[in-house]
Amino acid sequence: MSGTSNTPAPRKLRLGMIGIGVGGAEILRAIAAMDTIEVVAGADVVPETLVRFRERFPEAKTYLTAEQLCADDNVEAVWISSPNRFHAEHAILAAKHGKHVVVEKPMAISLAEAGGMVEAAEKYGIKLLAGHTRAFTVPIRAMRRVIQSGKFGDLRALNIWSYSDWMLRPRTADELDIAQGGGIPYRQGPHQVDTVRLLGGGIVRSVRAQTGAWMKERSIPGYYAAFMEFESGLPATIVHNGYGYFVGAELVPWGHDKAVYTAEQRAAIRTALRSGTRDETGEKQSIRIGGSREKEYFYDDDNAPWIPEDMGFAIASLDRADLRQSKFGVFVHDDSGKRDLRVVADHETGMVQRRAELEELYASVVHGEPLWHDGRWGMATLEVCLAIMQSARERREIMLQHQVEVPAAYDAKMQVAGL
Ligand SMILES: NC(=O)c1ccc[n+]([C@@H]2O[C@H](COP(=O)([O-])OP(=O)(O)OC[C@H]3O[C@@H](n4cnc5c(N)ncnc54)[C@H](O)[C@@H]3O)[C@@H](O)[C@H]2O)c1
């Protein structure tokens, strides 16, 4: 790509980050490995975070407010990873300043907010990408390609189950308040919902779900189970249990009993939460940018094989095969046995999954290509997450109104070897 005298270096998209927290630290690591994005600014309300951000990006400007960052003429696009309750406000602010936007999941905490973001993007002519869900990861995109090939007949069922230690990780007050977008349905629902929508074609007809909140020290829901029916009649179930007694990572031969924490650490965290002795603020700041535990939290081996991380196991059943995530592609269990079909290109780096949303934004802004995960796509995913909570409250099936299709041309370059 870059670096030879004949090939000009690609134009870099100048990006600002609003909210440099745990999610922000994760994506900054991926951005640092890209030659198409330059981090030019960061905004956060915590001065210590800005100091650490400047150490990592000495050329970048830092701001204490999103308003100041959005007024910076050098910023072309923003990555919004502020707390959920600010996503709509910050996205609309950025749109008004003509900045393109990638917004973390959940896109917003209500459909009214999401609608306002879609309107602002259209009014001010900016790209709004609802990003950073596990549907962007290589195994899921490979699975979609195998389904689309038609080789194994029709798609009959989708099931995703996750067991994580999400509820035991350090949390801020807003994350522990459902009114501010806290809890597993808001925070982890978008990963599974985006994924089943991508694989199932996009249009979910209805949702019936239950949620569970059974940890006294954390009143937010740490569990949901949802049954979705697609317009086509396709059934999908998604389940996430974030209480961390059992973690799904140990279900692959190369995995172990650890998501973020070992079983012993999880037990110690429960004890500290029960006795009120846990320093959540300090612990959370230690995994943000430049923190003492940032490396341990994020800097794993880029070539490490896939394990059932927070999103869990996704299994697609077709007429003549079951598909599930593999190390760098997809396992096909069919009439001839079991095969591991790898994606072509870039899988060796293991980084594709973390960059896909930025590659999509870049291609759209710089090369005029369509933006696939736009505001309407994100709004449809949010609608399902909200329906999960509504169905649980009202104990009934919720019909959906804002669903959109996966465009047929999405991800045309994704190739799966041996298909
Ligand atoms: N896609 C993923 O895999 C993933 C992973 C982690 C977090 N996230 C998302 O990132 C967002 C933040 O979660 P987190 O875990 O990083 O929490 P966090 O608390 O670590 O990050 C939020 C950051 O925003 C800052 N902030 C608060 N108010 C602000 C304001 N008004 N203006 C600017 N900055 C402000 C905080 O100081 C903090 O640094 C959430 O939307 C979450 O869903 C996504």
What is the value of pTM for the model shown?
0.95
In this predicted structure, what is the pLDDT of residue 207? 98
Query: 255: pLDDT confidence band, cut at 50, 70 and 90?
Result: confident
Tokens of 390: 């509504």
Domain ranges (residues) in the chain: 13-130, 134-351+373-399
Q: What percent of the chain has pLDDT over 70?
A: 95
C-alpha 408/C-alpha 47 separation (Å) is 45
- Distance from Cα 327 to the centre of ligand 1, integer Å: 29
Q: Decide yes or no: CATH 3.40.50.300 for domain 134-351+373-399.
A: no
Q: What is the pLDDT of residues 4-46, one digit of tens each?
A: 456 778 899 999 999 999 999 889 988 888 889 999 999 999 9
> What is the β-pairing status of strands 37-43 and 61-63?
parallel
Residue nearest ligand 1's atom 25 by CA: 19
Mean pLDDT across 46-52:
97
- For residues 31 and 38, give the distance between their C-alpha atoms in angstroms, rounded to a whole number: 8
- Distance from the CA of 175 to the center of ligand 1, in angstroms? 10
Residues touching ligand 1 (Cβ under 6 Å) are 18-24, 26, 43-46, 49, 66, 81-84, 86, 104-105, 132, 172, 187, 284, 288
User: Residue 164: pLDDT above 50?
Assistant: yes
- Helical packing angle, 375-394 and 189-200, nearest 10°: 110
Do domains 13-130 and 134-351+373-399 share one topology? The answer is no
Q: Is 13-130 in CATH node 3.40.50.720?
A: yes
Cβ proximity of 182 and 174 under 8 Å: yes
Give the pLDDT confidence of 293-303 residue by residue, as tens digits: 888 777 666 66
Q: Are 34 and 354 in contact (CB under 8 A)?
A: no
Instruction: Indicate the angle between helix axes 138-149 and 352-367, nearest 10 degrees.
Output: 70
Nearest to 349, CA basis, from 338, 362, 359, 339: 359
Query: 31: closest CA among 71, 69, 78?
Result: 78
CA of residue 177 to ligand 1 center, whole Å:
14
